[in-house]
Structure formats: C-alpha cells, structure tokens
Structure 1
Amino acid sequence: MSKETLTSTFTELRKGFFRLAMRFLSNQEDADDTLQEAFFRLWKHADRIDTPEEAEALTIVTVKNLCIDTLRKKSHLHTVELDEGRDDAVAESATDTLEREERFKAVERIIEQRLTPLQRQILHMKEYEGKEYDEIAAKLGMQPPAVRMQLSRARKEIRECYLKQMER
C-alpha cells in the first residue's frame, strides 16, 4: 500500500478516529496529539499495509492503545493542588481513569463475544464512523428501520450484559 493510500484512508476516517479518541480522553488537544502520533506510527509501516480496511483497523487499534497510554501517563503524573485535599483529588482522578478504562474493556468484550457480526458492523459504522442510518442501510443492502432495530438490539444486549457483570 502506498503512503498516499494511507493518507487518504486516514483523512477520510479522521472524524471517526477523533470521536474514538475523545471517548477515552476528555481533552481535544490530547485527542489531536493521539491521532497525529497514530498516523506517524503507521506512516513508518505504510508499505506493509495492504488495504484501506487494514489501515482503518490498525489505526483504530493504534489510537485506542495510545489513548490508554495517555491515560496511564496522566494517572502517574503528580500535580500540586493549592487546596488541602489535593492527595485525595489525585488518587480519585487516577482511580476514576482506571475504572473508566476497565468499563470500556468490559464493553468491548461484550461487543466481541455477544453481538452478531452484523450488529458489530452496524455499531461500528454508527458509533465510530458517525454514519447515518440511511448510509449504513445502503452500504449493507438493508432498510433503515432494520438497521435501527439491529442497533437497538445490540445496545440492549450490551446494556443487559454490562449490568449483569456489575452485579457480580
């Protein structure tokens, strides 16, 4: 695959990659930095990437891993607060970050283990790529109400499985 193909794939899907980064990170600058670093890392290996689909998958994994790395680094940073409860605030934010990361991993496992391939594809197109129901339906050869139903069922399955896991 040429570097031009990597660039066009990345540019075309950048908004979705940005939304993925923002789900992990609450800071736009961190999300932008993560996307830049992901592209830089993939650029070095562009000759080993064969298709736009492979470039997309590798970018998603790279962005996700870089987000997790950023969260881990931030949880280890020692900041000095001006109030007396600073130690509690730092410990609480690190704990919150790790808990959020664990919740995200739990949801990912549910998606991989419990959803059908069609539901996973629709969820990915809607949530990560930001496509509209009509676009998804056209791409998958379905009617928009069928796409909505599949997405609704997928979300219900995720919610129910997640709540069962939290009860344990």
Structure 2
Amino acid sequence: MSKETLTSTFTELRKGFLRLAMRFLPSQEDADDALQEAFFRLWKQADRISSREEAEALTVVTVKNLCIDILRRKSHLQTVELDENRDNAVGDPESEAQEREERFRIIERIIELHLTPLQRQILHMKEYENKDYEEIAEILGMQPPAVRMQMSRARKEIRACYLKQMER
C-alpha cells in the first residue's frame, strides 16, 4: 500500500476516527492529538499495510490505544493544594535528600522482590541504559509490543506495591 492510499483512507474516515477518540477523551484537542499521533505511527509502516481495510482497522486500534494511553497519563498527574507559605518556607535540603533516598530504596526493594527477572531486565535496559523498545526487543528476541506490555505490567506492579507500602 502506498502512502497516498493511507493518506486518502485516513482523510476520508477522519471524522469517524475523531468520533471514536471523542468517546474516550474529554477534549477535542486531546482527540486531535491522538489522531495526529496515530497517523504518524501508521505513516512509518505504510509500506507494510496491504489494503484500505487493513489501514482502517489499524487506525481504529491505534487511535483507541493512544486514547487509553492519554487517559492513563492524565490520571497519573497529581494535583496539589496551594500552600501560600510554601515559597516562603525554607526546606531542609538534607532531610529532603534523605526522604528521596528512602523512597528510592523502597522502590529498589519492590523491583527486586515483586518483578519477574524479565521485567527487571527490561526495566533496567529502558530506564538505566536508555534503550528504546525496539532495541530491547531485538536483544531479548521479543516483539516490541511484548516488551511494552512487560514494561507496563512492571510499572503497574511497582506503583501498586509502593502505594500499599506508603499506606502502612
């Protein structure tokens, strides 16, 4: 399939894709961003898409997954109440550094005790060696989506264990 066919398919069906994104996302701006990112991702693999129907199906799946990713990112943004005295208060840098170090140790323990060896390996390559998912997949003989899924599960487990630990 040529890039022209992908472009014409996407253009013809854009309103439907936008309606799909709007079912997930609260704003038109976020929906437009999801569509733009979906088109960009599909553009990179346009030569591997064999038909208009496949382009449509891949776009639907890609838009849906991007919408879910956007919702997840937004749900992780924390809100903090304004403290008018915060800027005037002088924090103890040593105490703050100790708190950060303690949180880091807790997370390291969670990683060691709760993640699978594969998840630990992927996390290490991604976060400490700055490798992208494609590189990790090649090294481990996996598909990039499988690497992303393992990374997602690892992060979810770390988050759940950390929150449970903080409740104590």
With the length of structure 2 as denominator, give the TM-score of the two structures: 0.48
| Higher helix content, 1 or 2 | 1
With the length of structure 1 as denominator, give the TM-score of the two structures: 0.48
Greater gyration radius: 2
